[in-house]
Amino acid sequence: MLQGRCALITGSTQGLGYAMAERLAAEGCNIVMNGFGEKDEIESRRGKLESAHGVRAIHHGADVAEPAQIADLVATAQRTFGGVDVLINNAVVRHFSPIEAFKPEDWDRALAVNLSAPFHLIKMTLPAMKTRNWGRIINLASNWGLTGTVGRGDYVASKHGLVGLTKAVALEALPYNITCNALAPGSILTPHAERQVRERMARDKLDWDVAAQEFLKTRQPSGRFVTGEKVGQLIVFLCSDAASEMTGNPIAMDGGWLSI
């Protein structure tokens, strides 16, 4: 189903984004990586996708806060692979501050990356998907797109907006065999989460497993971090014919978080 198709994944030079790229490449998908990082590390990861899975992979360093750079990113994908079949809006910025202390420039950048960039990318890739009568759009919304928390107004607001955009796009795309869904992962072992666990280890003199359990117990009843590999497997399912009637949904993968 994915052999020879093209997946564009923003924020995919490392972490969750790269894990999704790896899983799609394993299914035969050509990959457009996007994001920042050390040039040599990015090139190593790009090369690994090609050598391990026999696909083509390119990297484009667009800052997705800038619509002109998004346009060049999409044009490059179209020139290289003939179009984008799978669009994954994964790039994100986040800040930690109470509303009254929130810097306006931080708010503006969060909206640009977390919400406006998906809009521009969908707008630019949707016409070719309609022409081919097939497409998959997946927006990484997070559980904070379905609930709220303190000190993260930009993240909560932009992710709620992304869920709303998902629903609107899903309805417009229905006649063209194009689905649009929002994934809502719970706690993933990001650098920020790892730092919090290690701070807990040092403060309370705990080993990793106990400190991780302490970190997760108020968030994720399963007591386990969501892994990039499992998110990647869910992405592959959403690209399959079996998921062709799943559209417009916020899909939680959160170890029971939203059931609390």
Active site residues: 155
Distance, first Cα to last Cα, the chain: 37
Q: What is the DSSP letter of 246?
A: -
Amino acid at 86: V
CA distances to 16, 85, 174, 177, 179 from 133, rounded to whole Å, are: 28, 10, 10, 6, 11
Query: In three state form, how does the secondary structure of 177-224 look?
Result: CEEEEEEEECCECCHHHHHHHHHHHHHHCCCHHHHHHHHHCCCCCCCC
Yes or no: say if 109 and 65 are a contact pair by the CB < 8 Å rule.
yes
- Nearest alpha carbon to residue 220 among 257, 165, 179: 257
Q: Reduced to 3 DSSP states, what percent helix, strand and coil does the chain have, rounded to the nearest 5?
A: 55, 15, 30
Sign of CA dihedral 203, 208, 211, 216: positive
The helix (H) or strand (E) run that includes residue 23 is helix 15-26
- 230: which residues sit within 8 A by CB, 6+ positions away? 253
- Nearest alpha carbon to residue 216 among 166, 145, 143, 153: 143
